[in-house]
Amino acid sequence: MPIKVCLAGATGWAGSALARGIARTADLTLVAAVSRAHAGRALGEVLGESRLDCPVYASATEALAHECDVFVEYTAPAVAKANILAALERGAHAVVGTSGLTTDDFEEIDSVARFQNRGVLAAGNFALTAVLLMKFAELAARFVPYWEIIDYAHDDKPDAPSGTVRELAARLSKVRTPEPTVPIDRTVGPRESRGATVSGSQVHSVRVPGYVISAEIVFGMPDQRLSIRHDSGTSAVPYVEGALLAIRKVSTLVGLHRGLDSVLDLGG
Ligand SMILES: NC(=O)c1ccc[n+]([C@@H]2O[C@H](COP(=O)([O-])OP(=O)(O)OC[C@H]3O[C@@H](n4cnc5c(N)ncnc54)[C@H](OP(=O)(O)O)[C@@H]3O)[C@@H](O)[C@H]2O)c1
């Protein structure tokens, strides 16, 4: 039996690429989609993809009236948490691509998922190269005690920092807490010039036209420096394979798991 998927944000930049990716599989089927602007239409008609015949609804609550195995959240920070909780309460597992969720949001999602005995896989970035950035940075943090993160994105990205950088900072906090030589609250000058403290890391968000999404982490120790940088391209294609893998594997999880490597064997 194919895995039944409900996709919130199916007409968006990331969601439409994923919907087309699902249409090409034999083991996944889209049963409902969410988009306010296209509610009442068939998704295939909106995307020009005849293999997608599922209905589009204005809200996740309406779409979740269709029974589904996995709910995929790819909309906007303002509605993401409520959508995920609604899906868990209806017995679906959830795959989360939307950025902007806080540590507190994730804690709440984790406790509801555990109560419902369901899995949630949230990835700030489903691209393989971004997963590698996280792994390489975790390794570097074991040996180099101080770093700061620069988060670059297009000027109209509403949330900051990006989901990629939030996830990166959360993961590094499990390795160690970097300690700046001059404590941040003793900065001479505007405190904001030292960035935001996110899960213990200093993060500097740049929102300038011309960027897609990039993340750079700079590790330093006396007389040496290491930079690790990830740059997204302009299409959403790199996220599709990772999200498909997450949909296929999320039912093997219970509770919240962050990062695609929760279900990806990277060896080592
Ligand atoms: N994890 C990853 O790898 C990854 C990759 C790319 C993007 N993202 C994140 O995914 C999210 C979506 O990005 P995007 O670039 O695809 O955005 P987008 O192009 O603006 O698409 C958003 C989609 O969600 C729908 N939507 C937005 N607000 C809604 C609401 N209140 N209720 C119902 N539907 C709503 C939109 O349709 P309507 O406007 O018609 O409602 C549209 O289908 C962002 O948070 C982004 O940072 C994550």
pLDDT in tens, 118-170: 999 999 999 999 999 999 999 999 999 999 999 999 999 999 999 999 999 99
**17: Cβ below 6 Å to ligand 1?**
no
**75: Cβ below 6 Å to ligand 1?**
yes
pLDDT for 266 beyond 90: no
Helix (H) or strand (E) holding 33: strand 28-34
Note the pTM of the prediction, 2 decimals: 0.93
pLDDT in tens, 193-226: 999 999 999 999 999 999 999 999 999 999 999 9
Please compute Rg for the chain using Cα positions: 19
Chain centroid to CA 8? 14
**Burial of 223 per CB tally in 10 Å (0-12, 13-18, 19+):** exposed
From 6, 18, 30, 35, the mutation candidate for ligand 1 (largest count of ligand atoms within 8 A of CB) is 35
Give the 3-state secondary structure of residue 173: helix
| pLDDT band (50, 70, 90) for residue 64 | very high
Q: Is residue 52 within 8 Å of 31, Cβ to Cβ?
A: no
| pLDDT band (50, 70, 90) for residue 112 | very high
From 75, 167, 261, the mutation candidate for ligand 1 (largest count of ligand atoms within 8 A of CB) is 75
Q: Is residue 84 within 8 Å of 73, Cβ to Cβ?
A: yes
pLDDT for 268 beyond 70: no
pLDDT in tens, 228-245: 999 999 999 999 999 999
Helix (H) or strand (E) holding 16: helix 13-23
**57: Cβ below 6 Å to ligand 1?**
no
Q: What is the mean pLDDT of residues 35-39?
A: 98
pLDDT value of residue 110? 98
Expressed in angstroms and rounded, the spacing between residue 181 Cα and the centre of ligand 1 is: 39
Which residue, judged by its Cα, is nearest atom 2 of ligand 1?
125
Nearest to 144 by CA among 219, 200, 238: 219
Q: Is residue 131 within 8 Å of 164, Cβ to Cβ?
A: no
pLDDT value of residue 80? 98
Atom of ligand 1 nearest to the CA of 163: 47
**52: Cβ below 6 Å to ligand 1?**
no
For residue 125, give Cα distances in angstroms to 14, 32, 98, 99, 230.
11, 23, 9, 9, 11
**99: Cβ below 6 Å to ligand 1?**
yes
Q: Is residue 93 within 8 Å of 119, Cβ to Cβ?
A: yes
**93: β partners:** 70
